[in-house]
Structure 1
Amino acid sequence: MSTPTGPLRLLRQHRGHTVVIYVILVIGAVLWLFPMITAVRASLAFGGPGNYLTVITGTFNGVSLPRTFVNSLIIAALHALIVCSVGSLAGYTFSKIRFPGREAVYYGVLIFLAVPAVAILVPVYWITGQLALFNTHIGVALPEAALTLPFAVLLLRNYADGIPDDLVEAASIDGAGHGRIYRQIFLPLARPALVNLGALSVMWSLQDFLFPSTILKDPELTTAAQAVQTIQSGFGPSPTQTSQYFAALVLLAVPALVLVVTGLRFITSGITQGGLKE
């Protein structure tokens, strides 16, 4: 029998370390899953599975759970569209177009990675009022996109740097301008990074509570993240209604969980391919 080589040999040599790593991962998974398992058990304690049908078909404090999912997905889609569109243009520009002060502007953009959402809350509130965007989906998507764009520029410029300049030079020799190069060369090659960025943007938007709570006051526009708090007073203290509230919490967590499970492959692929250089 041949002797294992490469990663397999190292794995066998460090089997004890591997066991420890798996034990730590299992413990971590249990700790992360414990709140969800507790919520599911509590949702079935009184009333059983019927609690889920009750909260799906009912309205609590003027909020309908299916409507919150629709609102969240609309905002998340707008957020991802803005971030991917503007981020890809900026990433291509900073990587493939030479202009005075390019690096200074690029690092100036990256500084905004350190700006927290609460730091721009007052300006966002004022600008939203000036643009008459209160109680609109785009009014929430725009500030979310503003916070995500520095990361998008970083990710897509790094990805664009991995695309050989020879492709751009060859296209230029054939008479293609930057607009055509961007559409026909950069965007197809950057698809893994864009899918990765889009999935992350949707996931972050679904988790956002601050901007929807600041900009959306109409119960019909409540997002899933807001609904966790908004619908709480709509349930009484009885055991059955408490179980129904836990059922609502479980349902509100479903979109983000589904996105993570279905999008993890794309996120991992985008990060891996984005780290490869020619």
Structure 2
Amino acid sequence: MSASTAPTATRSSRQRPAGSVVEVSVSGAPRRGLASRLVSRLGSGTVQVVLVLVALFWMVPVIGLLVVSLRSETDNTASGWWTVFLKPAELTLANYQDLVQNEVIMRSFLNTVYISVPSTILVVGIGALAAYALVWMEFPGRDWLMVAVVGLLVLPIQAALIPISQLYGALGVFGSITGVILFHVAFGLPFAVFLLRNFFAGIPRDLLEAARMDGAGEWRIFRRVVLPVARPALASLAVFQFLWVWNDLLVALVFTSPEAAPLTVALRAQLRQFGTNIDVLASGAFLSMMVPLLVFFAFQRYFVQGVFAGSTK
């Protein structure tokens, strides 16, 4: 059987027409590159332990700030914050009770809220309207307007401080909360329009055309179709804008008066007497840090969706 089979196979191979394609199957997995091997090893237990240790190392200043804010001024002066692990009885909420009764800190905290919330709402609202117009509405100069928006992204804030100060002085809003809000809105809109315009451009045109066939106008399409779809992008923009405004110091130093100063300016003023009011600085700084964290975790789900929007199909 084997002797008669071999010649047959040989003859059939010799009778194969010239120019025919012979398919050859190669078994075995393809070779993996260095980057692929590194990514696959990131899920190992050793790497995860190392990442946890690195995260804990980066959290040491935050933990130290929290501990200092929970110790009295005498204890903070006598020893380092790490000694609290041996003396947990030193922890107290007296600093936060005194902080609530501190008129300057509480007024600056409310000023920060009065500045951050309107600045965020106005930037998100105006930016969404402008991005919708740049994507789905036809009008002369639309492309040049988008070029101007991109150009404004590279304009540094420092270049506008002196001219806007002169403008605010002429308008009578220098040193007020209104002036700070207008500044943050003006410099937050270019990024907002750029971010939302790219997101709106990915919305299927058929979705909007179907709404127009049903008799919906531009305003109704914007409210009922575009805004629900763009919720992750809007949440991401709101988080970015709120963090920028809440942690701002430069603009507040230039454009606010002592009565309208936000929390960052008030804490900076306390640094002049650092040795005698470290308890106020620590508790105030931790309070200033906790509010953005709460905002981030409240919008975390939408924020992650907005950051990864468009990265996968």
Q: TM-score, normalised by structure 1?
A: 0.81
Q: Select the structure that is richer in helix.
A: 1
What is the aligned counterpart of 1:237 among 270, 275, 279?
275
Q: 1:243 offset after TM fit, Å?
A: 3.4
- SS class of match (1:245): helix
- SS class of match (1:14): helix
Report the counterpart of residue 143 of structure 2 in structure 1: 103
Count, aligned residues:
260
Distance 1:216 1:36 in 2: 29
Q: Which structure 2 residue ranges, 5 or more long, are not aligned?
A: 1-35, 76-90
Q: TM-score, normalised by structure 2?
A: 0.73
What is the aligned counterpart of 1:30 among 39, 46, 56?
56
Distance 1:185 1:276 in 2: 22
Report the counterpart of residue 236 of structure 2 in structure 1: 196
Q: 1:103 offset after TM fit, Å?
A: 2.3
What is the aligned counterpart of 1:153 among 187, 193, 205?
193
* Residues 52-201 of structure 1 aligned to structure 2 (within 5 Å): 52-59=96-103, 63=104, 65-201=105-241
Report the counterpart of residue 7 of structure 1 in structure 2: none
* Amino acid of the structure 2 residue aligned with 1:14: S
Distance 1:13 1:71 in 2: 46
For residues 132 and 112 of structure 1, do their structure 2 counterparts lie closer, same or farther at Cα, with a shift above 3 Å needed?
same
Q: Which structure 1 residue ranges, 5 or more long, are not aligned?
A: 1-9
Q: 1:31 offset after TM fit, Å?
A: 4.2
What is the aligned counterpart of 1:51 among 89, 95, 98?
95
Distance 2:42 2:174 in 1: 57
Root-mean-square deviation (CA, aligned residues, Å) is 2.8
Higher relative contact order (CA 8 A, sep 6+): 1
For residues 13 and 94 of structure 1, do their structure 2 counterparts lie closer, same or farther at Cα, with a shift above 3 Å needed?
closer
* Amino acid of the structure 1 residue aligned with 2:204: P
What is the aligned counterpart of 1:256 among 272, 288, 292?
292
- Structure whose CA Rg is larger: 2
Identity %: 31
- Cα distance per residue 1:42-98 (max 9 Å; x no partner): 331536422222222124xxx2x2222221112111111111111111111111112
Report the counterpart of residue 6 of structure 1 in structure 2: none
For residues 167 and 40 of structure 1, do their structure 2 counterparts lie closer, same or farther at Cα, with a shift above 3 Å needed?
closer
